Amino acid sequence: MAEWDRTVDLLVMGSGAAGMGAAVRAHDLGLDVLLVEKSELYGGNSAMSGGVCWVANNPGMAKEGISDSDEEGFQYLKHITKGEVPDNRLRLYIRESKRVLAYLHEKTHVRYVSLAKYTDYYPEAPGGRPGGRSMDPLPFDGSKLREDLIRMRRPHPQSQILGKFGITAKEAQAAIGVGFKTMMFMAWQMFLYMLRHFKRKRWGRDTKLCAGNSLMGRLLLSLKERNVPTWLNTGVEELLFEDGKAVGAVLNKEGKTLRVKASRGVVLAAGGFSRNREMRQRYQRHPITTEWTAGTPSNTGDAIQMGRDAGGALDLMDEAWWTPVSLVPKSPFSWVLVVEKSLPHGLFLNQNGKRFTNEAAPYIDVVNGMYDDVAKTGAADPRWFHIFDATYRKSSIAGPVAPGKVMPDKQLPRRYRDGKFLYKAETLDELCAQLDIPAATAKAAITRFNEYAVKGEDPDYNRGWSAQDRYYGDPNVKPNCSLGPIETGPFYAVQIYPGDLGTKGGLVTDEHSRVLKEDGQAIPGLYAAGNSASSVMGRTYPGAGGTIGPALTFGFLAAEDAARGQDPPS
């Protein structure tokens, strides 16, 4: 065996929530840790995410007067995962996620508050809750990171108000629409933004970090204070094994090859494979492409492939954290339809002019509805559209297009007009001609939708029945804030696609985050967490934070097992 260039206890691959969480915990347990990130920026998908963490029966719920219990949290997860995830794994997550959250609050800069009104995605399911389980990271002063602030991956462009600053998840709901309160809120936020002028000038970007940037900024500062080495521009080229145990890796650090020994093991936490075209074509439903993801460019499945080559089993490779998206000209990231799909006076139609799903459903279900539509129609080149009227256009967003009251059609940038992003026509017939969909079928679908929308009903897909559907609805629209007729011209459309926030399939792991072989035996010294591991949430999505919560939790469990230095008792 060739000599080692460096020796540590634990090598962590990836700088998202799972990787940084594992590194923090490993250090605090006395391990010498090295964290490596192949890109030039910290944070991975987690930095671009909402940063929300889903934890049942968390302490913040009691403060908000919301009752919950571990048993009800388990009942909920068991119901929505449909028996596809072992009970002991679900109970493990319910129990350990609270412990990890408490540890982070006590020992690091991470701070979360419960979102009292942010519903579970299936609040009416057994054990479901109308709010409280999703937790939002408190804003963070990024200037505390000093020069490392410019090395933090920027938020997704759509999370930035006017392209300038972020807001919290609670504020995001309040910012919908163009009413007086919203305008006053925006004016106040702009004032605060102006007050940060000198900080921005010194550090090269806005220093108020929200959402995923807040979480990752807080974790990065916690690592820096612990003097944990974090190497950017450092990719893992090969895992190294001795007698079947992972003992290190070959790294490429800014073009230099290094052999790093990791006596306690290696944690694979480098995200999923949303940007790997070959893997997506091989494992996932079609149509599929790397262009529809909102994930970071560095999510190319490296960790998953290395773990697979080492004998690790894979699961859920056909799945992702699905969400309908639109493609914005000159943007490297797809635009996620979180809010738009729930707003009244709009609906989704396929290339045949037919509705196919509950538009306001959890975004993972909307995309499943899109793929079910492909299976039903057999379309070789399926297309879907978000169609809405002038009432919607006046007061609601459509991707980067602000409400008409703020951004009239005549002021739209040229890259958004004339079908480049936004289609517009005076009549539905003209709009359907532009979209190349049958006008008679589309108008019949819209007429039926309108007939029931004025009553606040949707007998076809039950849109607006669930509290989840109504979370981003317009409270001024009665009797159902998620339903409104599409009847006032001009009419508009945006093409939508089956996109994702990241993939959720990956390496199969046990309760200690150890990578398992096909026969169920653990590969000594090899761990996986975050989107590099198959999700504890199975094929579903419990609520906002269903990705970040498990990433932090299973990253912690990997570090704790490595610190024990031996196989724990079964």
Q: What is the pLDDT of residues 298-314, one digit of tens each?
A: 999 999 999 999 999 99
Average pLDDT over residues 172-179: 67
- pLDDT, one tens digit per residue, over 116-126 is 999 999 999 99
**Cβ-based neighbours of 324, under 8 Å, separated by 6 or more:** 336, 337, 341, 348, 363, 366, 367, 370, 384, 496, 497, 498, 499
Residue 410 buriedness (CB in 10 A; 0-12 / 13-18 / 19+): exposed
Tokens of 60: 């913040």
The H or E element containing residue 201 is helix 197-203
What is the share, in percent, of the chain residues with pLDDT greater than 70? 97
Q: Residue 57: is its pLDDT beyond 80?
A: yes
User: CA 46 → CA 34, 154, 317, 559, distances in Å?
Assistant: 19, 10, 20, 19
Q: Which long-range contacts (CB under 8 A, 24 or more apart) does 417-420 make?
A: 420/329
Average pLDDT over residues 480-484: 97
- pLDDT, one tens digit per residue, over 87-102 is 999 999 999 999 999 9
- Name the pTM for this structure: 0.95
Between 184 and 493, the more confident residue is 493
pLDDT at res. 452: 97
The H or E element containing residue 114 is strand 112-114
Tell me which architecture the domain covering 1-153+215-319+504-570 has in CATH: 3-Layer(bba) Sandwich (3.50)
What is the share, in percent, of the chain residues with pLDDT greater than 90? 87
Query: What is the C-alpha separation between 211 and 112, in angstroms, rounded?
Result: 10
Average pLDDT over residues 49-67: 95
Angle between helices 70-80 and 87-107 (to 10 degrees): 130
| Residue from 287, 314, 286, 288 nearest 301 by CA | 314
Query: What φ, ψ does residue 172 adopt, rounded to 5°?
Result: -60, -40
pLDDT at res. 569: 35
- Residue type, position 235, single letter: G
- pLDDT, one tens digit per residue, over 245-271 is 999 999 999 999 999 999 999 999 999
Tokens 């008409």: give the residue: 404
| Residue from 336, 340, 369, 338 nearest 354 by CA | 369
User: Where are the chain's structural domains?
Assistant: 1-153+215-319+504-570, 322-500
- pLDDT, one tens digit per residue, over 70-88 is 999 999 999 999 999 999 9
- pLDDT, one tens digit per residue, over 370-421 is 999 999 999 999 999 999 999 999 999 999 998 999 899 999 999 998 889 9
- Where b means 16+ CB within 10 Å and e means fewer, 332-371 reads ebbbbbbbbbbbbbbbbbbbbbbbbbbbbbbbbbbbbbbb
**Cβ-based neighbours of 248, under 8 Å, separated by 6 or more:** 4, 11, 239, 240, 259, 260, 261, 262, 266
Between 380 and 20, the more confident residue is 20
Pairing of β 6-13 and β 256-268: parallel
Beta bridge partners of 7: 261
**Cβ-based neighbours of 149, under 8 Å, separated by 6 or more:** 142, 143, 203, 204, 205, 207, 217
Q: Which fold has domain 322-500?
A: Flavocytochrome C3; Chain A, domain 1 (3.90.700)
- pLDDT, one tens digit per residue, over 275-297 is 999 999 999 999 999 999 999 99
Q: Coil, strand, or helix at residue 13?
A: strand
Query: What is the C-alpha separation between 283 and 278, in angstroms, rounded?
Result: 9
- pLDDT, one tens digit per residue, over 196-247 is 888 888 888 889 999 999 999 999 999 999 999 999 999 999 999 999 999 9
pLDDT at res. 157: 81
Name the band, by pLDDT with cuts 50, 70 and 90, for residue 510: very high
